Amino acid sequence: MTKINRRSLLAAGAASASMLPFLRAMPAHAAGDDVMVAVNGQTINSLDLHRTGTNRPSYQVAINCYDRLVSFGTKPSSGGGLEFDYSKVEPELAESWTVSDDGLILTFTLRDATFQDGSPVTAEDVKWSFDRAVSLGGFPAVQMKAGGFTRPDQFVAVDAKTFQITLDFASKLAIPDLAVPIPFVINSKVAIANATEEDPWATEYLHQNTIGSGAYKAARWVPGEQLVYERYDNWASGPLPAYKRVVIREVPSAATRRALIEKGDVQLSFNIPSKDAAELAETLTVNSTPIANAINCIGLNTKFEPFQDSDVRKAVAYAIPYKAIFEAAAFGRGNPLWGEETERSDIAWPRKTGYFEDLEKAKEHLAKSAYPDGFEVPFSISLNQVDWMEPTALLLQENLAKIGITVTIDKIPGANWRTASLVEKRLAFHLEGFGGWLDTPDYYFFWAYKDGHLFNSSNYRNEEIETLVDTTLHIPVDDPAYEGNIKRMFEIALDELPRIPLWQPALNVALNGSKDYEFWFHRQLDVRPIKPA
């Protein structure tokens, strides 16, 4: 009789993984130092970040295949390796820039750079690209708005190498917002040649082709299987990457991805479950970086009648088994956000909430509410994120039953999750993980607490929050009003609790044969700095 244990199961998984057709086509260990193979569990659904319906895993294409005017610097990361440094903005396609004394005019001088077809990058290309970013609507346009960029008439190509932006008001977010993935620079001549009257921004062409000046180009894309990057050897905006080719393979099974990285068939496994990260760290290099300005939380939809009652929301907050969830779902990776802070007077975010597990307090709040006998409610999770959402949901379900709230777990396919939770905002009770790209508390509140904004999945509206965010978003952090406004936002949000913070998550990346991975706020894989180990 054959004894089956965890080790033999992993070995079997590795063997079956090595038989997959795409591995037979090009085994990673046979690729040599010129090629890196990485695996990810999520699907890239477009090569164009600006296109309606493009999902978050696809954002990496804009990072690797296109340039932006500026980028952020890097610093040592607490999770291992390097991470972005929000305090340092550095040149990318722009070799220099100036800001007028009143903060309204930003003038950029472009470096000598060429697109991947050999044509020069000009300020006209930058203007066309920015015009596109603010005109196509959806998430990209709102992200541009956060920096004060809303209309094509704000953008001017002064000459071939000089690009100018005129703001309606000075904003501390203007320059940092140019470093996010959205304002990437496109070869406008090629785009226009492939545009149509019905599609003036060439979204169908750019959906399947990259036409940038970045470090790589998308050489081959098979949706649902893999994306192959090939290096652009004339890249002008940074050090030439070490790898000539990078293969991004989509492997939905976490067990298969684990087997591949353990065996050495791939050099990098991106965004691995925390359980795997904790175990693989014993034998491999694993970077676990707390995600800046990010929170895994419980959303309570205020359009759903019981959650309009603040005592119901507080009853839920005191019924959550925070520590058990953090251990079972995060394996201790990231930062806890429950409990009291000791004499904390700063405005760092995320921060501890003051709530903790106390079933008696939970029962007291429920008894004071309009639902003293409890109620029934579905609790929604995404099948694409079951590694942390399912254990969280099960532990929450168990504790809420103790105070009279009956929860049924509603598992939603990953392909439908963003529409259900964020676009239609129709989930009564759900989990959410959101991280703000620009690392200020007011920017997080702009996306997650303002009425109608994408990541406000709770349908929350508070008139004071609306005013505070609008007032605070663009003023400097040293403005006398800034700190007081932020503290008031915290006070309202943690009292009204439209979302209940659980923990600040970490992004886990395992390496076996590669090094110099860098964590970035956008939570996508930047392949440019990675080298053979």
> How far is it, in rounded angstroms, from Cα 244 to Cα 229?
8
Q: 28: pLDDT confidence band, cut at 50, 70 and 90? A: very low
Beta bridge partners, 501, equal 297
Residue 8 or 221, more confident? 221
- Mean pLDDT in residue range 96-116: 98
Is the pLDDT confidence value at 80 over 90? no
- Mean pLDDT in residue range 471-483: 95
174 contact partners, CB below 8 Å, separation of at least 6: 103, 106, 147, 148, 149, 165, 167
pLDDT at position 55 is 86
Is the pLDDT confidence value at 3 over 50? no
295 close to 441: Cβ distance less than 8 angstroms:
no
The token pair that represents 20 in the structure block? 């997959």
User: SS3 letters for 259-302?
Assistant: HHHHHCCCCEEECCCHHHHHHHCCCCEEEEEECCCEEEEEEECC
Q: 344: pLDDT confidence band, cut at 50, 70 and 90? A: low
Q: State the pTM of this model.
A: 0.87
pLDDT at position 33 is 81
> How far is it, in rounded angstroms, from Cα 51 to Cα 233?
28
Q: 342: pLDDT confidence band, cut at 50, 70 and 90? A: low
> How far is it, in rounded angstroms, from Cα 261 to Cα 254?
11
Residue with tokens 């000459």: 159
Is the pLDDT confidence value at 18 over 70? no
- Mean pLDDT in residue range 175-204: 98
> Within 10 A of 303 (CB to CB), how many other CB atoms are there?
12
425: left (phi over 0), alpha (psi -120 to 50) or beta: left
Q: How far is CA 469 from the centre of its chain?
A: 21
pLDDT at position 53 is 84
- CATH code 3.40.190.10 region(s) in the chain: 40-248+508-532
Is the pLDDT confidence value at 16 over 60? no
pLDDT at position 42 is 87
pLDDT at position 15 is 42
pLDDT at position 11 is 40
356 contact partners, CB below 8 Å, separation of at least 6: 318, 322, 338, 339, 340
Q: At residue 274, what is the residue type?
A: S
- Mean pLDDT in residue range 79-89: 92
pLDDT at position 414 is 82
Is the pLDDT confidence value at 187 over 60? yes
pLDDT at position 415 is 77
Is the pLDDT confidence value at 20 over 60? no
Q: How far is CA 472 from the centre of its chain?
A: 23
Is the pLDDT confidence value at 24 over 70? no
Type and span of the H or E element at 191: helix 188-193
Q: 340: pLDDT confidence band, cut at 50, 70 and 90? A: confident
Is the pLDDT confidence value at 368 over 70? yes
155 close to 188: Cβ distance less than 8 angstroms:
no
Is the pLDDT confidence value at 281 over 60? yes
The token pair that represents 328 in the structure block? 């079972």
269 close to 38: Cβ distance less than 8 angstroms:
yes
210 close to 51: Cβ distance less than 8 angstroms:
no
Torsion sign, CA atoms 42, 294, 133, 424? positive
- Mean pLDDT in residue range 173-188: 98
Dump strand ranges (E) for 363-413: 375-382, 405-412
Q: 22: pLDDT confidence band, cut at 50, 70 and 90? A: very low
Rg, Å, the chain Cα set? 24
pLDDT, tens only, 392-428:
999 999 999 999 999 999 999 887 898 899 989 999 9
Is the pLDDT confidence value at 529 over 70? yes
Number of residues that this document lists for the chain: 533
pLDDT at position 21 is 44
According to CATH, the topology of domain 294-504 is Dipeptide-binding Protein; domain 3 (3.10.105)
pLDDT, tens only, 37-73:
999 998 899 999 999 888 889 999 999 999 999 999 9
Residue with tokens 């952020």: 72
End-to-end distance of the chain based on CA atoms, in angstroms? Answer: 42
226 contact partners, CB below 8 Å, separation of at least 6: 22, 220, 247, 248, 249, 250
Residue with tokens 């703000």: 436
- Mean pLDDT in residue range 514-527: 96
According to CATH, the topology of domain 40-248+508-532 is D-Maltodextrin-Binding Protein; domain 2 (3.40.190)
Number of H-type helices and E-type strands within the chain: 18, 22
Is the pLDDT confidence value at 13 over 70? no
Type and span of the H or E element at 368: helix 359-368
Is the pLDDT confidence value at 26 over 50? no
- CATH code 3.10.105.10 region(s) in the chain: 294-504
Is the pLDDT confidence value at 76 over 60? yes
Q: 27: pLDDT confidence band, cut at 50, 70 and 90? A: very low
pLDDT at position 418 is 86
Beta-carbon-side half-sphere exposure of residue 505 (alpha carbons within 13 Å)? 26
Is the pLDDT confidence value at 31 over 70? no
Helix axes 138-146, 123-135, angle to 10 degrees: 110
Q: What is the mean pLDDT of the chain?
A: 92
How much of the chain is helix, strand and coil, in % rounded to 5?
35, 25, 40
DSSP H helical segments within 31-187, as ranges? 59-65, 123-135, 138-146, 174-177
Query: Three-class SS of residue 409?
Result: strand
Is the pLDDT confidence value at 379 over 70? yes
> How far is it, in rounded angstroms, from Cα 456 to Cα 465?
13
Q: Is the peptide bond before 273 cis (omega within 30 degrees of 0)?
A: no
